Structure 1
């Protein structure tokens, strides 16, 4: 029997991503509950879900949450709430013995991460018995980044890394008016930025040790800061730049690693009407080869979580997918927080907190 799960949250991302992606893998999972704080939003999300999961129930408020917690048949819960509410809700579920996949960012800042980790470890200090706490970071599951991780060795010793993000967070974007992102320290830089940092860490296979950044606030329709330019140093000694513009008139996103024997680049784009990433490898001989990988990271991360909760139920010492671990999500946040801190100190060198 397919494991039963619940979704907490009924916003845009649940309706446009979670429900359709779970529908693609409905042979692997059964969606039993959708919860929201309000009855109205729970009902509207459940209506969308019923097209694929006829038996889904909607519940709301404190009583609805208690119902999910007490329901023994629910193995896993997806927490897709406002960033400020996610960690406390996740910990409440973990304490009740549920397996959790929580949307990114892992937490709002380093102090919340440290507090969360100590609370998580106090629930059950030993990994075999610990409930799974996954953070949904689809970039670590995108086939383009998985492929780049394999190809990186072929370009030889790294000399330079560039991550250029010119985003399109304007009033036509459905997330533009999202109030929780506007009340988040770091605003869209933190909420969107964790993705691009995850991509950087995935491709290079290396942690960033220190940063120096300049931040600015130019577009007053966006929360501050809306621009960041950072130099960073990887633990292997290689340096790089991370540039992020939250809202550009001409969006462009790419990661580029220059090595002694060639260069590797991942660029966001679309081919034949499908959105995804173009991976290009430039060789020492001047030749290049490219492959396009359509987006499938959300589906892949959900598949991994469903596999993990199914294995954990068998009671064997199953090691959950490391790419989804709370620690991985925490490392993305720690790096962005270091950049934002450096920006607030006019570019002072800041060492990245290690987890």
Structure 2
């Protein structure tokens, strides 16, 4: 039997402990988790304790020396970078230059200049053999609900209008509320959370957002500014739409709606039989409605595909294996570009801003 690929997780925060370790455990037959790294020994040890239930051989690594050990360990082929938004790109590039495949948490980067520098650096990384994979873990593109709704949109005729309404619940009872890094970069929670909703929008409509005009405001002073964004946008197919995001609302609601000449497709986050997921509804021209519920499984799917990709890339060394395009760094960069254009427009009182193309 072929030996399992070995991977490391860099980061030991809330998302690693509550999502990465359980989701990786579901596919533990596909790989071996060798290390969990954190800046501090204490947090690395805490995460390793949780992971040991599923991966008894996992080891702690921490600090600069630990990072160095990971980069120099030739038995490791893949790494998951789940760190503060401000440092992820820098560490991802170090690992890529050391020849490791990387799946990095969103946002892909914190600004357009960082994306441009990152893409230029990545282009220059050519390890032998072939370029390592750089994936961004944004998971919405892997949710069955969005895969399904993209297919349904193709059948509702000419696209007439698109609405994305996000009323979030980022208040003091949310574990990420006090996360300092999300408060300390331009766009804060709008950028960090918003990339998911833009990913969902771009996935469903199957084309790019070309220009935006937005009004931003700051109402909830416990949140970094802005905490509300209301934007008109135009798609490259000529269709217009609205994107409204309230970071914290007392009545959370998350909905994508595409109105076509022959029907409407709607995706709404909700709960059925105790499971969280998305209700996908197709309203046909004759007034009928068909709905299907898809429980969340995007994190599971994207990690499974990343493991598959790195195994295939290693088998086909030098033959230019094509990794799953939905998780490419460029896809994540395009989500950031749409939000950055909205935030820029908001700061200029609603001026029309073209979305940077990647």
Give the TM-score normalised by structure 2.
0.98
Aligned length: 354
Which residue of the partner structure matches residue 286 of structure 1?
287
Which residue of the partner structure matches residue 120 of structure 1?
122
Partner of residue 12 from structure 2, selected from 10, 18, 39: 10
How big is each residue's C-alpha offset from its partner over 1:246-303, in whole Å with a ceiling of 9 and x where there is no partner? 0000000000000000000000001000000000000011101000000000000001
Shift in Å, 1:125 = 9.8
| Distance across 1 between alignment mates of 2:188 and 2:135 | 23
In the TM superposition, what are the counterparts of 1:233-312 in structure 2 within 5 Å?
233-312=234-313
In the TM superposition, what are the counterparts of 1:92-111 in structure 2 within 5 Å?
92-111=94-113
SS in structure 1 opposite 2:94?
helix
In the TM superposition, what are the counterparts of 1:1-355 in structure 2 within 5 Å?
1-124=3-126, 129-314=130-315, 315=317, 316-355=319-358
How big is each residue's C-alpha offset from its partner over 1:198-232, in whole Å with a ceiling of 9 and x where there is no partner? 00000000100000000000000000000000000
| Distance across 1 between alignment mates of 2:227 and 2:326 | 28
Unaligned runs of 5+ in 1: none
| Distance across 1 between alignment mates of 2:275 and 2:76 | 34
Instruction: Please tell me whether the aligned partners of residues 141 and 199 of structure 2 are also in contact (alpha carbons under 8 angstroms).
Output: yes
Shift in Å, 1:317 = 3.1
Shift in Å, 1:29 = 1.5
SS in structure 2 opposite 1:190?
helix
Shift in Å, 1:123 = 1.2
CA RMSD of aligned residues (A): 1.0
| Distance across 2 between alignment mates of 1:28 and 1:184 | 36
1:125/1:206 Cα in 2 relative to 1: closer, same or farther (>3 Å)?
Answer: farther
| Distance across 1 between alignment mates of 2:350 and 2:314 | 49
SS in structure 2 opposite 1:155?
coil
Unaligned runs of 5+ in 2: none
| Distance across 2 between alignment mates of 1:169 and 1:279 | 24
SS in structure 2 opposite 1:167?
strand
SS in structure 2 opposite 1:135?
strand
| Distance across 2 between alignment mates of 1:14 and 1:153 | 36
| Distance across 2 between alignment mates of 1:307 and 1:150 | 25
Instruction: Please tell me whether the aligned partners of residues 99 and 127 of structure 2 are also in contact (alpha carbons under 8 angstroms).
Output: no
Give the TM-score normalised by structure 1.
0.99
SS in structure 1 opposite 2:155?
helix
List, as ranges, runs of 4+ consecutive aligned residues in structure 1 with deviation greater than 6 Å.
none
| Distance across 2 between alignment mates of 1:159 and 1:125 | 47
1:282/1:125 Cα in 2 relative to 1: closer, same or farther (>3 Å)?
Answer: farther
